[in-house]
Structure formats: structure tokens, C-alpha cells
């Protein structure tokens, strides 16, 4: 019996693959058998990751992509498909934030977050969606939002707005592209340890924050593996427009 988590022969493109969740997503998909295009602005980090994937006989292609530059998006998708064939799976992961009280956030910071997280995510989905429609084989688009799509994160208004947009974009694209057998779903991670926030969770304020969470813990990137593989594989063939919270109960808690 073929596993619904097997991705043998599939081509997955992961944006924001140079660090954090994107890096873990790329490793997970490669271990499941997918060829993986690693997309980000920092190609040196991508080369290192490609080497790590090659070490377990996976295949990975590093490409430079700036999701705030539409030409860069199309160039990267074209390069990926020339080398590895049509994209079957997109993990639309690039994201940034700008911590600032709402009354003080600058137009530049606001635009930086929205252009990356919302506008950039849409045009990446559009570029890959156009290819999937052209090739007529369907596909999987997995948009990475956040618990911030449904909950307020203090002093992070642009991030919250952008992730709410990604969540609603997921439903809109699912409605439009279902006829092409493209499943568009959304993964909303909770608080996950990454290289950017690791030090904070070791501080006294960080520990006090963890003590308020439903499970009194935060997640590791691998805690998202099961949901990612579900949405990337055949097990989600009858799922589209779905929002999966992987947050240890944070969304439904009173916290």
C-alpha cells in the first residue's frame, strides 16, 4: 500500500527556505521523496541546505527569489521547472515581521511586512498556479500563515493583518482553482522555536510567557511535519480551503 505521505517523483518549491520553518519544510519534503527547489534571497544558506539534502540522497536546487519582486518570482519558478520539471507542491512560506506599537509603525515597515507576507505570497501562488493550470496535472499549494491570522499579537499589527490576508487568500484561491484540481490549504503554526527567537524563550519573560500557554510549552519545527506532509500528499486530495492550526491549542484557549 502506497503511503499518503510519500512524495516520490514530486517537485516541491519552498520559499523562505534559507532558515527557520522553511528550512525544516524543505528537509521534511526531501526526506519524503520530493525533489525540492529551495528559494530565498540568501543563496549561501541555500547551498548549505542543498548539500545536507544531497547527503541523504535527496535532490535540491537552490534558486534566488525575492518575493517582493515579481520578476524575481517568475525567474525563479522558470529556473526551477527547467531543472526539476513542473512544480507539484508549493510551500508558500516567506514571512517577516516588524514589532512596533500601532501608533508608531512607519509606512516603510508596514509596507515591508505586507509586501512580503501578503502581496509576495499572492504573486508566488499566482506564478505557480499559472504553471499548474498550464500543465493540467493539478497540485498542492500550502500557504503558511500563523495563529496571528486569528489572534492578536501585541505590537505586531502589520504581521497580524498580513497573515489574516494569507488565510483568506487561501479560501479564495481554493474556490477559484478547484476546477483545475489544485488544492489550496493553509497551515497556521503556533509558537515555534527558531534560530531567530530561541534566545528569547530562555529569558525570564520568555519562560513566564510559556507558562501561560495551554500546554505550557512551545513547539519545535518538526512538530509541523505531519500537517505539512498531509497537505503535500495524496491524503489531502479531498481537502481545499482548509485552515489547519498546529498550535497546541492556542487558538481555542482563553489566553
Can you give the pLDDT at residue 5? 87
What's the CA angle centered on 206, arms 203 and 210, to 5 degrees? 135
Which of 17, 19, 29 has its CA nearest to residue 64?
17
Can you give the pLDDT at residue 196? 76
CA torsion 29-30-34-35 (nearest 10°) is 130
Contacts of 78 (CB under 8 A, 6+ apart): none
Query: What single-letter DSSP state applies at residue 64?
Result: E
- What is the Cα–Cα distance from 206 to 64, expressed in whole angstroms? 34
pTM: 0.96
- What residues are labeled active site? 159
Burial tier of 141 (Cβ tally within 10 Å: 0-12, 13-18, 19+): buried
Any idea which residue has 525575492 for its cell? 66
CA torsion 20-139-169-80 (nearest 10°) is 50
Which domains occur in the chain, in start order?
11-191+221-245 (3.40.50.720)
- Give the other-Cβ count within 10 Å of 37's Cβ: 30
Q: Which value, in Å, is the radius of gyration of the alpha carbons in the chain?
A: 18
Look up residue 248 and give its three cell numbers. Answer: 497546541
Q: What is the pLDDT along the chain (255 residues), one digit of tens a residue?
A: 357 789 999 999 999 999 999 999 999 999 999 999 999 998 999 999 999 999 999 999 999 999 999 999 999 999 999 999 999 999 999 999 999 999 999 999 999 999 999 999 999 999 999 999 999 999 999 999 999 999 998 999 999 999 999 999 999 999 999 999 999 999 999 999 988 788 889 999 999 999 999 999 999 999 999 999 999 999 999 999 999 999 999 988 877
pLDDT digits (tens, 9 = 90+) for 47-100: 999 999 999 999 999 999 999 999 999 999 999 999 999 999 999 999 999 999
Q: What's the half-sphere exposure (Cβ side, CA atoms, 13 Å) at 42?
A: 12
Can you give the pLDDT at residue 222? 96
Can you give the pLDDT at residue 2? 56
Amino acid at each position: 500500500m502506497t503511503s499518503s505521505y510519500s512524495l516520490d517523483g514530486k517537485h516541491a518549491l519552498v520559499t523562505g527556505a534559507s532558515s527557520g520553518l522553511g528550512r525544516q519544510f524543505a528537509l521534511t519534503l526531501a526526506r519524503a521523496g520530493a525533489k525540492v527547489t529551495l528559494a530565498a534571497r540568501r543563496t549561501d544558506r541555500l547551498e548549505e541546505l542543498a548539500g545536507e539534502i544531497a547527503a541523504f540522497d535527496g535532490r535540491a536546487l537552490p534558486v534566488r527569489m525575492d518575493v517582493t519582486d515579481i520578476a524575481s518570482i517568475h525567474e525563479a519558478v522558470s529556473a526551477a521547472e527547467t531543472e526539476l520539471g513542473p512544480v507539484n507542491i508549493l510551500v508558500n512560506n516567506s514571512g517577516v515581521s516588524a514589532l512596533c506599537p500601532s501608533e508608531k509603525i512607519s509606512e516603510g515597515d508596514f509596507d515591508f511586512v505586507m509586501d512580503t507576507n501578503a502581496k509576495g505570497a499572492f504573486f508566488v501562488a499566482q506564478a505557480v498556479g499559472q504553471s499548474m493550470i498550464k500543465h493540467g496535472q493539478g497540485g498542492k499549494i500550502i500557504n503558511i500563515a500563523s495563529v496571528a491570522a486569528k489572534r492578536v499579537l501585541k505590537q505586531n499589527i502589520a504581521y497580524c493583518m498580513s497573515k489574516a490576508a494569507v488565510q483568506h487568500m487561501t479560501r479564495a484561491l481554493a474556490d477559484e482553482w478547484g476546477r483545475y484540481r489544485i488544492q489550496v490549504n493553509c497551515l497556521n503554526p503556533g509558537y515555534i522555536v527558531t534560530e531567530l527567537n530561541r534566545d528569547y524563550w530562555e529569558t525570564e519573560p520568555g519562560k513566564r510567557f510559556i507558562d501561560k500557554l495551554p500546554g505550557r510549552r512551545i513547539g519545535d519545527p518538526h512538530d509541523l511535519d505531519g500537517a505539512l506532509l498531509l497537505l503535500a500528499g495524496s491524503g489531502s486530495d479531498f481537502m481545499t480551503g482548509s485552515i489547519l492550526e498546529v498550535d497546541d491549542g492556542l487558538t481555542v484557549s482563553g489566553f
